[in-house]
């Protein structure tokens, strides 16, 4: 690696990126047999934030500093993400939920507020199903727990439904199938993940320019690595186990706020109340899937009153 390449790599490191979040620190700990990386800042009631695919803790950059004015904010790289461990197994959401539960116990946090986006939302819901006594309030952003409905996703999109932009009425999530494949995605995407990122952001965001060039480079620098591709795809490869686990779960009594983008709101408003007794689902219909980037101010307007 020459000096120019090293400088480029360093600017995307957690050590450099955390400098953009005043008052936050990088931290590491071992729980449930894995090393987890997380960033922590602020004070008050603990608020655990779990990111999704294909991002890292950095995806909360537009809202975490504001949330830290009222809460002790902890953004975790979930198992298989970023600087956290990438074991061969344990990517079912029940095991990943235990990672977070054990982290909470390790840090002696007591009851927490829990927020998850995308895959992080799936882990957050599993945490609520399995450890309800640890959660005071739950926020789910565009990512409910895997359910039987996933098994009905089409392999081929219906005529005219696969367009340049994903909407609530026009959805074709081909990567759900692609990420099931073991071994091949790593070979195709190693060093080339930028192409997938650019296509994905254009497809699932209303205004993909809100995902800056630098942010794309941050995520590409992580997911260009074949081990990171393998581990993140493992989140998808356990969906059938997650669906089986969900069959034994009881309805949530924890207060739940669902926040749905233009691509997910219709599904969330139907699905979340089915598994949560105290639930309110709000639509941010002027935002695509990556709401923290497209509409961070509206995300905060919804989250802050709910958490109180």
The CATH number of whichever domain residue 255 belongs to comes to 3.40.50.1820
Residue 27: strand pairing partners:
38
Say which residue the tokens 């620098």 belong to.
Answer: 221
The answer to whether residue 59 is domain-embedded is: yes
* Residue 114 main-chain phi, psi, to 5 deg: -130, 130
Best CA proximity match to 48, nearest among 101, 3, 92? 101
Query: What domain range includes position 110?
Result: 3-146+165-307
The answer to whether residue 159 is domain-embedded is: no
Distance, CA of 283 to CA of 62 (rounded, Å): 19
Three-state SS at 163? coil
Distance, CA of 141 to CA of 116 (rounded, Å): 6
**Greatest distance between any 2 Cα atoms in the chain:** 57
* Residue 169 main-chain phi, psi, to 5 deg: -95, -20
Distance, CA of 55 to CA of 280 (rounded, Å): 26
The answer to whether residue 35 is domain-embedded is: yes
Best CA proximity match to 111, nearest among 130, 93, 137? 137
Q: What is the pLDDT of residue 3?
A: 46
pLDDT (tens digit, 0 to 9) for every residue of the chain, 308 residues total? 554 455 456 899 999 999 999 999 999 999 999 999 999 999 999 999 999 999 999 999 999 999 999 999 999 999 999 999 999 999 999 999 999 999 999 999 999 999 999 999 999 999 999 999 999 999 999 999 999 999 999 999 999 999 999 998 888 999 999 999 999 999 999 999 999 999 999 999 999 999 999 999 999 999 999 999 999 999 999 999 999 999 999 999 999 999 999 999 999 999 999 999 999 999 999 999 999 999 999 999 999 999 99
Q: What is the pLDDT of residue 9?
A: 64
Structural domain count, the chain: 1
The answer to whether residue 153 is domain-embedded is: no
The answer to whether residue 115 is domain-embedded is: yes
The answer to whether residue 155 is domain-embedded is: no
The answer to whether residue 281 is domain-embedded is: yes
The answer to whether residue 157 is domain-embedded is: no
Report yes or no on whether pTM surpasses 0.85: yes
């Amino acid at each position: 690696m020459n000096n120019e390449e090293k400088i480029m790599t360093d600017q995307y490191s957690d050590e450099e990126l955390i400098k953009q979040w005043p008052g936050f620190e990088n931290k590491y700990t071992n729980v449930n047999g894995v090393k987890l990386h997380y960033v922590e800042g602020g004070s008050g009631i603990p608020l655990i934030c779990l990111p999704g695919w294909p991002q890292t803790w950095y995806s909360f950059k537009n809202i975490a500093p504001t949330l830290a004015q009222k809460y002790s904010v902890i953004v975790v790289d979930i198992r298989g993400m970023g600087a956290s461990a990438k074991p061969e197994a344990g990517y079912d959401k029940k095991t990943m939920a235990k990672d977070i539960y054990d982290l909470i116990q390790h840090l002696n946090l007591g009851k927490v507020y829990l927020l998850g986006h995308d895959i992080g939302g799936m882990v957050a819901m599993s945490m609520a199903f399995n450890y309800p006594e640890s959660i005071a309030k739950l926020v789910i952003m565009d990512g409910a727990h895997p359910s039987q409905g996933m098994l009905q996703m089409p392999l081929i999109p219906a005529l005219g439904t696969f367009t340049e932009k994903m909407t609530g009425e026009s959805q074709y999530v081909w990567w759900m199938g692609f990420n099931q494949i073991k071994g091949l995605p790593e070979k195709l995407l190693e060093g080339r993940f930028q192409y997938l990122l650019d296509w994905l952001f254009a497809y699932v965001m209303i205004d993909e320019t809100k995902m800056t060039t630098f942010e794309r480079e941050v995520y590409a620098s992580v997911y260009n690595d074949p081990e990171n591709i393998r581990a993140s795809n493992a989140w998808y490869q356990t969906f059938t186990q997650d669906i089986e686990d969900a069959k034994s779960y009881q309805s949530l009594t924890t207060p739940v706020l669902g926040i749905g983008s233009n691509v997910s709101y219709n599904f969330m408003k139907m699905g979340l109340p089915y598994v949560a007794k105290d639930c309110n689902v709000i639509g941010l219909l002027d935002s695509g899937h990556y709401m923290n980037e497209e509409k961070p101010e509206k995300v905060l307007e919804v989250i802050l009153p709910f958490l109180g």
